C-alpha cells in the first residue's frame, strides 16, 4: 500500500495534476518503489519518496496549515489596518519587493474549499489525542472563520452612512463558489455571509455565473436591478472585468469588496460607498 497526497489548484491554468511535484509514502520499500515508478510514468514532475505514509500525509497537512496560518495573519492585519486607515494590499505589495523571507498572502472575506479550512482540524485533534495543544492553528481557524461575519459588519457600516438599516435592505452577494472561476460551493465563505445577512434581516439575492443553479438570479442584469447594496464574495474574472458604471446605472449605493478585486477609486468617483477588506 502507498499514498500520494492530492495536490491541485482548481481554476489554475498553469499548475495541474500532470505537472505538480508530488510526495509518496508507503509501508514498505517495495511498495514505495512501485508507487514512485507509477507516478513517474503518468506525470511530468518530480516525485519525492517519504519514509512512511504518515510522513506523506503530514506533508499535506503542513502545506494547508501553512496557508491557513498566513491567511489568518493578513486577515487579522486587515481588521487592524481598517482601524488605522492603512491600505493593507498596498503594504503587502510593498513588502513583496523584498526578494527573500517574505511570501505574499492577501486578506479576504473568508477561506473556503475542501482542504484549507478542514485539514488543520485533523492535526489539531490528532495532536490533542497525543497530549499536545495546537494553539496557533486554533487561533488561525478562529480568525479565518470570523471573516464572513466581519464582511457583513462592513456592509452594516456602509449602510449606516446611508442611514439605511441592514434589516429589510436588498443585499446582493456576487459569487457563491468558494474560489474564482470554479463551480464549487464546499465551505464557501459566501454561504456564511448569506447566513449572517439573513440573521440581521437583510433580503438576500445571489448571482454566480459559475453556479447559476444555486443563484437566486440568473443574470447579472437582473441581479443589479434588484440589489440596493452588493457584497463581492468571489473574484470571478467576470466581476473583475466589470465596468464600474454598471453599479451606478443600476442604483447600487454601497459595495463591500470581499476579495479586493474591484478598483475602489473607480467606485468612489461614482459616489458609491466602497469598503474592502483591509483597504
- Indicate which residues carry an active-site annotation: 115
Q: What are the cell numbers at 63? A: 502545506
Backbone angles phi, psi at 222, to 5 degrees: -65, -40
DSSP states of 25-71: EESSHHHHHHHHHHHHHH-SS-EEE-SSHHHHHHHHHHHHHHHHHHH
Cβ contact 227:155 at 8 Å: no
Cβ contact 58:120 at 8 Å: no
Q: Report the C-alpha gap between 123 and 185 in whole angstroms.
A: 24
Amino acid at each position: 500500500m502507498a499514498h500520494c497526497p492530492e495536490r491541485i489548484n482548481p481554476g489554475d491554468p498553469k499548475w495541474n495534476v500532470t505537472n505538480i511535484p508530488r510526495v509518496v509514502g508507503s509501508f514498505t520499500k517495495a511498495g514505495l518503489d512501485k508507487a514512485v515508478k507509477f507516478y513517474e510514468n503518468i506525470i511530468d514532475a518530480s516525485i519525492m519518496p517519504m519514509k512512511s505514509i504518515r510522513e506523506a500525509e503530514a506533508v499535506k497537512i503542513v502545506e494547508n496549515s501553512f496557508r491557513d496560518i498566513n491567511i489568518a495573519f493578513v486577515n487579522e492585519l486587515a481588521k487592524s489596518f481598517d482601524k488605522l486607515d492603512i491600505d493593507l494590499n498596498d503594504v503587502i505589495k510593498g513588502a513583496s519587493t523584498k526578494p527573500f523571507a517574505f511570501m505574499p498572502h492577501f486578506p479576504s472575506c473568508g477561506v473556503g474549499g475542501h482542504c484549507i479550512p478542514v485539514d488543520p482540524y485533523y492535526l489539531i485533534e490528532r495532536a490533542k489525542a497525543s497530549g499536545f495543544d495546537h494553539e496557533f492553528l486554533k487561533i488561525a481557524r478562529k480568525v479565518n472563520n470570523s471573516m464572513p461575519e466581519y464582511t457583513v459588519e462592513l456592509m452594516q457600516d456602509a449602510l449606516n452612512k446611508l442611514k439605511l438599516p441592514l434589516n429589510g435592505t436588498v443585499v446582493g452577494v456576487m459569487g457563491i463558489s468558494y474560489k474564482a472561476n470554479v463551480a464549487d460551493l464546499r465551505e464557501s465563505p459566501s454561504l456564511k455571509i448569506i447566513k449572517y445577512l439573513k440573521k440581521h434581516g437583510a433580503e438576500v439575492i445571489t448571482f454566480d455565473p459559475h453556479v447559476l443553479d444555486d443563484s437566486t438570479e440568473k443574470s447579472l442584469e437582473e441581479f443589479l436591478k434588484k440589489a440596493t447594496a452588493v457584497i463581492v464574495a468571489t473574484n470571478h474574472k467576470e466581476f473583475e472585468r466589470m465596468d464600474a458604471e454598471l453599479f451606478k446605472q443600476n442604483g447600487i449605493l454601497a459595495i463591500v469588496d470581499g476579495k479586493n478585486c474591484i478598483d475602489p477609486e473607480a467606485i468612489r468617483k461614482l459616489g458609491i460607498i466602497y469598503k474592502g477588506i483591509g483597504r
